[in-house]
């Protein structure tokens, strides 16, 4: 191979290598909507943006994101060819994400709720951290610990990661979403972030509603992605 050809080949190889946009979905609490959010976001990147997408199930306790994939496969749903779903519930997940970055346009991590170590490690490699929270008091209480851990991890992140709280399971027929927004944006002392724990949470404007569509999505490949599409447009604008 001539020097010229070799350089051209190298250039082509570099041009086709990806540098994935990494979205970590995490909250140090169970049942908040992490897996559902991770799946919808992964489908948005794979189906709408048509990027090679990796959905990583890093939940050390339950692995529902991977089960979702297995059930969908078994039930004959067509999995987008550019979507790969893998399990990786291990403490060295940061290293794994770094390895996979050049193979995918987007990597979505379901960080689970049980391991602050995996959560921390994943956030060190994230471009966005998405923290789904339902508009109830008990869910909001776990945000403070989640953001404490996220802040420690962000200090080790070299990519200007931004963190966002997203209200999910919002039922506009009740006062809960309004109340939750107020409490997140004007927290009482001890219930916010920052050194005095009184600063507002970075709340996304886009709200994910409480829809049967989401409750029934497990094990399927939904095509109605509009709320999560809107969310990701907001958070990447």
Ligand X SMILES: Nc1ncnc2c1ncn2[C@@H]1O[C@H](COP(=O)(O)OP(=O)(O)OP(=O)(O)O)[C@@H](O)[C@H]1O
State the binding partner of 36 from ligand X, Mg ion, none, CB within 5 to 8 A by kind: ligand X
Q: Which is nearer to Mg ion, 33 or 192 (CB)?
A: 33
Instruction: Name the residues that contact ligand X, by CB under 6 A.
Output: 30-36, 59, 62, 64, 112-113, 168-169, 208, 210-211, 214-215
Contact between 163 and 154 (Cβ < 8 Å): yes
Q: Which is nearer to ligand X, 105 or 113 (CB)?
A: 113
State the binding partner of 32 from Mg ion, ligand X, none, CB within 5 to 8 A by kind: ligand X
What residues numbered 28-47 form the site for Mg ion, per CB under 5 A?
34-35
Closest distance to ligand X from the beta carbon of 41 (Å):
12
State the binding partner of 63 from ligand X, Mg ion, none, CB within 5 to 8 A by kind: none
- CA torsion, points 134, 139, 140, 142, in degrees to nearest 10? -140
Q: Which is nearer to ligand X, 34 or 101 (CB)?
A: 34
Closest distance to Mg ion from the beta carbon of 110 (Å):
6
State the binding partner of 192 from ligand X, Mg ion, none, CB within 5 to 8 A by kind: none
- Interface residue with Mg ion among 32, 37, 64, 115 (CB under 5 A) is 64
Closest distance to ligand X from the beta carbon of 146 (Å):
12
Closest distance to Mg ion from the beta carbon of 182 (Å):
28
Q: Find how far residue 68's CA is from the centre of its chain.
A: 16
Question: Which residues contact Mg ion (rule: CB under 5 A)?
Answer: 34-35, 64
């Amino acid at each position: 191979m001539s020097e010229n050809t070799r350089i051209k080949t190298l250039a082509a190889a570099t041009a086709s290598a990806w540098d994935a946009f990494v979205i970590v979905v995490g909250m140090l609490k169970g049942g908040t909507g992490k897996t559902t959010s991770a799946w919808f976001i992964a489908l948005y990147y794979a189906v709408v943006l048509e990027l090679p997408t990796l959905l990583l199930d890093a939940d050390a306790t339950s692995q529902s994101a991977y089960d979702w994939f297995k059930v969908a496969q078994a039930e004959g749903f067509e999995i987008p060819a550019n979507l790969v779903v893998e399990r990786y519930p291990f403490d060295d997940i940061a290293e794994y994400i770094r390895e996979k970055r050049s193979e995918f346009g987007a990597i979505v991590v379901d960080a689970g709720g049980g391991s602050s170590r995996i959560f921390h490690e994943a956030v060190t490699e994230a471009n966005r951290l998405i923290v789904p929270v339902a508009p109830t008091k008990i869910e909001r209480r776990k945000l403070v610990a989640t953001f404490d851990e996220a802040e420690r991890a962000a200090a080790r992140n070299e990519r200007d990661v931004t963190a966002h709280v997203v209200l999910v399971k919002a039922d506009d027929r009740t006062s809960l979403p309004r109340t939750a927004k107020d409490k997140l944006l004007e927290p009482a002392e001890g219930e916010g972030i920052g050194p005095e724990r009184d600063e507002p949470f970075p709340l996304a404007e886009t709200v994910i509603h409480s829809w049967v569509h989401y409750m029934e999505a497990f094990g399927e490949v939904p095509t109605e992605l509009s709320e999560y599409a809107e969310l990701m447009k907001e958070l990447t604008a």
